[in-house]
Every structure is written in structure tokens, then in C-alpha cells.
Amino acid sequence: MTRLALLAAGGTGGHLFPAEALASELAQRGWIIDLATDERVDRYGLNFPARERHIIAAETFRSKNPLAIAKTAFALARGVAQARRAIQRTKPSIVIGFGGYPSFPPLVAAKLTGTPSILHEANAIMGRANRSLSGLVDAVATSWEDTRHVGGAIKAKATHVGMPVRPAVRAAATTPYPEFQGQLKVLVFGGSQGARVFADVAPTAMALLPDALRARLDVTQQARAEDQARVRDAYNAAGITAEVAPFFPDLPARMAASHLVLSRSGGSTVAELGVVGRPAILIPLPGAIDADQLLNARAFEAAGAGVLAQQLDVTPRSLAQILGELLSDQTRLETMATAARSLGKPDAASRLADLVEATASA
């Protein structure tokens, strides 16, 4: 009998990409896939292999203001009601949540309807939302072997599977690390939604590099639409070859073609860097209560695969120094690339699919 899996993921790349990887693996095994998500999916989920998409209300607790808390609680309650109706109508064999508050309504609804469920934790630390959800699910899947805040009752139901990556990432992993003759390719991106800090500092930092190094640069940079023109103008003024766009659908292939990556350190980004095997300068998103990106970056750096740069400390000159040291040292970059690849788990989607099938059958 054909089985249905309901995958719950927020509508940004960081949540959708691992869900897409699992969906592709389950589809190959004969499962039907439905997706519970939010309205942002129209931009980042165009290739998601779902039979049906359920737009579910969700909100994040961002403020201690009583009115804001009440508004968030109401949105989540409305989302639970929507998800419960969807589950009762479609009768999935299992619900899999990919973390954060967008997973909250479907996983709560799964508990209310007696539907088996799994929570996947993307980061090196389990955040507040996932800790609150972990007691409701039948199993927890982790990306990192030593995920913080996974102990006691959570640890008893936790399985280390890694972070699922899309088929395009696994395909890009077959590309060998590029040779150093000719251009030096640098990829800059700030997650699926971009980040202003990279627009502010990256072009200026690269313009500060020595002439001989700067002349070899070939930069691909993701920039928000409102920053695109000034970033492109800055590279042109410095005589640097650069392609600038708000979003690159072929990002895995561009990552594979790069000698060095400059990026945030979300769970999906770090996992993809590991599978493809590319060294990176990581600037974690600051201000997060759980410091998830900071811990991801620390783990990547500790493995010898990257350099951590805190956003508060990053200036064009400090970034230029790091870029210059790395791009001038072929042996170091190649060693970092090997270290990055040692962290990758290209079979994570398959391992998570195994856990899905075991939990659904239990």
C-alpha cells in the first residue's frame, strides 16, 4: 500500500532544502509526499516534489511584549487547527518536522491525532522551539553527533543521521577541488535570503587585496535586490570580475566550482559545504538566542575546514587579511577542503528515510 509522509518545513532554503532531500529519497522508495509550510515557499520551494502543499499559519516568539506573545500564540493555535484538519483529511503515515516554529503546528497536530512523528534538528545545538517539540515526537534525528541540549529523555529517542542534502548537492560533490591555474573563484552568499553584511564588507575587502591576487578573482555573490546594484558597482570599480544576483538556483554547482566560500553558517549551509568539500569563511548570524550558527561555525572551524569571523568584529580590512592569507596558500585551502569533506554525510537523506520507515511501522 502506498504510504503518505507529511513533511513540515518553513518556507526558506534552510528548512526546505533538507526536507526536499528527504522527499526525493522517500519518493524513490514509493512514498507520496505532502508539504506543510508557509507562504514563502513560492520562492524557495519551486522544485519541491510534493503532491499537495498545505499553507499552515505559524509565527515565532520574537518579543516579550504581551500583545506580541498573544498574537504569536493565536497564530500557532490557528496553525494547529489547520494542520489537524489536513492530517485528518489526508491521513499520513508519519509527520516529519524540520525544526523551528513552522514545524510546531504540524507536530502538535500529529500528537493530537495519534500520528507517528519525527523531529529533525539541523544545528549543533537544539533550539528552544525544538526542545519544546521533542517531548511530543516519537523520534529525534540529529545532524551533529554531539548536539547540545540533547540529553536525558531526548537522547533516548535520538538518532544521528546527519543533515540531508539535495540531489543537486550530492551531484556537485563529485566535482574535484578546482586547480589553481588562472582565476580564483570565490562564492559569497548569506543563506537563501541573503545578508546585508556581505554586501557591506565583501566587495570592499576584495578591493583591498594585492593587485596580483585581485586580478585573478572571479566572484559570485548573492545580494538582496536592493543591494544588487551597489555590490556590482563596487566590484566593477575595483576591476574584479563578478556575477551578482539575489538568488542562484544552481548554487551547489557554483559551490563546487569555488576555491573558497564566504557565507553564513546555518545547518544546511554547513552540511552542503561538508558534502561538496569546500573551505569557508563563516560569519554566523548574530543575536540568535540559541547561538546555533555560532556553534555550527565553531565545529566547522575546529575540524580545520573553515575560519570563523564574528560579524561584530568583521571590517573590510580584517576580512581582506583573512581572504589574502587563504587565497595565497594553495596547500592550506586544499587541506581545508579535505577537512570539510570529512564532515559531510552524503547519505544523510537515506539514513533519515530509514528512520522514517522504521518509526512509521513501529
How long a stretch of residues is the chain? 362
Whether the model pTM is above 0.85 = yes
User: Residue type at 47?
Assistant: N
DSSP string, 162-192: -----HHHHHHTTSPPPPSSS-EEEEEE-ST
The strands making up 32-37's β-sheet, listed across from edge to edge, are: 52-55, 32-37, 4-8, 94-97, 117-121, 139-142, 158-160
Q: Which three cell numbers mark 192?
A: 537563501
In this structure, how many other beta carbons lie within 10 angstroms of the beta carbon of residue 180? 13
Phi, psi values for residue 120, rounded to 5°: -105, 125
Instruction: Name which of 358, 352, 360 is nearest 91 in CA terms.
Output: 360
Phi, psi values for residue 63, rounded to 5°: -145, 155
The string of pLDDT tens digits covering residues 278-297 is 999 999 999 777 789 999 99
How many Å apart are CA 126 and CA 120, to the nearest integer? 10
pLDDT of residue 45: 56
Q: Which residue bears the cell 507529511?
A: 6
pLDDT of residue 70: 84
Q: Which three cell numbers mark 270?
A: 554547513
From residue 262, how far is each of 103, 194, 342 by CA, in Å? 29, 12, 19
Ramachandran region of residue 327, left (φ > 0), alpha (ψ -120 to 50) or beta?
Answer: alpha
pLDDT of residue 192: 52
pLDDT of residue 61: 66
The string of pLDDT tens digits covering residues 39-76 is 766 555 567 889 999 999 887 766 677 787 788 788 88
How many Å apart are CA 240 and CA 229, to the nearest integer? 15
Instruction: Name which of 104, 59, 61 is nearest 84 in CA terms.
Output: 104
How many Å apart are CA 273 and CA 328, to the nearest integer? 21
pLDDT of residue 43: 58
How many Å apart are CA 106 and CA 256, to the nearest integer? 35
Q: Which residue bears the cell 524540520?
A: 98
Cβ neighbours for 237, distance < 8 A, ≥ 6 positions apart: 207
Asked if 123 and 296 touch (Cβ cutoff 8 Å), the reply is yes
- What distance lies between CA 338 and its chain's CA centroid? 21
pLDDT of residue 87: 98
pLDDT of residue 153: 85
The string of pLDDT tens digits covering residues 266-277 is 999 999 999 999
pLDDT of residue 41: 63
Phi, psi values for residue 224, rounded to 5°: -60, 155
Taking the CA atoms of residue 276, residue 307, residue 268 and residue 288 in that order, the dihedral angle to the nearest 10 degrees is 180
> What are the residue ranges in the chain where pLDDT is below 50?
none
Q: What angle do CA 161, 11, 245 make, to 5 degrees?
A: 105
pLDDT of residue 89: 97
How many Å apart are CA 260 and CA 90, to the nearest integer? 45
pLDDT of residue 4: 98
- What distance lies between CA 199 and its chain's CA centroid? 20
pLDDT of residue 191: 63
